[in-house]
Amino acid sequence: MIRHISRISSQFSKPFTVIIEGNIGSGKSTFLQHFENHKDVCVLSEPVEMWRNCAGHNLLANHYENPVKWSFTFQSYIQLTMLQRHTFVTSKPIKLLERSIFSARYCFIEQLFRRGTLEAPSVSVLNEWFKYVITKFDVSVDLIVYLRTSPEVVYERVLTRNRKEEQSVSLQYLKDLHDLHENWLFHKTAFSRPAHVLTLNADLGRLAIREEYQKCEDHLLSVTG
């Protein structure tokens, strides 16, 4: 599947690190599954299961049930789990991460602030942590893969997958998150990008999207080869 990757990246002592970004339901997990069995790729899926069970507490559910009360707690924990992913040590030459500490800050925390769910003092505390973490730890990234979707398409997917915690996710919520991703990764008018962005059309269905995955493989070849 990605037959050339092994030969290209073994020269790097630090793995070539790719973060996979996109709206809720954009297909990040499916994208990662495509690379999962390659011997040279370390795939780090999002720690949703950790968010569902922090010492027995389902923070994801708490967050959606009562965001004003719990979103600070939830986003604090997400920052920690993202840092754990970024600093995960692997001997494999390529590391793929589902999301990052960057999208948690630039998209989700930002959205909660704009909606008034998180107030300025809470955002300031999360932001101070964020700034400290990104300067004191190696969270560097070599490539961002942006799975670009339209809000209507991901809304349908969220309804279809029917994750029990996400019952309150509305089309408007996804539109707002979409705009934040777009301004950050596509129009490049907000925040800064930790690496070059490769944009894929993730509105496509499961079969057609394989061609988009191929673009990513090709890009990995061109930047590392």
118: Cα separation from own chain's centroid:
20
Which residues are known binding-site members for ATP? 22-30, 157-161
**Structure tokens of 135?**
């300067």
Task: Measure Cα distances from 180 to 10, 23, 108, 110, 206 in Å.
Answer: 35, 9, 9, 8, 25
The pair of structure tokens assigned to 105 is: 């800050």
The answer to the question of residue 21 lying near ligand TTP (CB under 6 A) is: no
CA distance 214 to 207: 12
Which one among 99, 148, 178, 181 touches ligand TTP, defined by CB under 6 A? 99
Q: Which residue has the tokens 């809470």?
A: 122
Catalytic residue among 21, 46, 98, 212: 98
- Minimum CB separation of residue 50 from ligand TTP in Å reads 11
Nearest distance, CB of residue 165 and ligand TTP, angstroms: 6
Among left, alpha and beta (phi > 0; psi -120 to 50; other), residue 191 is left
Tokens of 175: 């539109």
Identify the residue among 77, 102, 108, 113 touching ligand TTP (CB under 6 A).
108
Distance of closest approach, residue 147 Cβ to ligand TTP, in angstroms = 7
- Residue selected from 43, 104, 141, 174 as contacting ligand TTP according to rule CB under 6 A: 104
Q: Tell me the window of 18-26, 89-97, 181-189, 192-200 that interacts with ligand TTP (CB under 6 A).
A: 18-26
Interacting residues with ligand TTP between 34 and 73 (CB under 6 A): 46, 48, 60, 63
Q: Are the beta carbons of 151 and 178 closer than 8 angstroms?
A: yes
Please tell me the distance from the alpha carbon of residue 211 to that of residue 209, in angstroms, as a whole number: 5
Interface with ligand TTP includes 216 (CB under 6 A)? Answer: no
Residue nearest to ligand TTP (CB): 108
Q: Which listed residue (50, 166, 203, 219) binds ligand TTP by CB under 6 A?
A: 166
Is 165 labeled as catalytic in the residue annotation? no
Give the residue numbers annotated as catalytic, written as ranges: 98
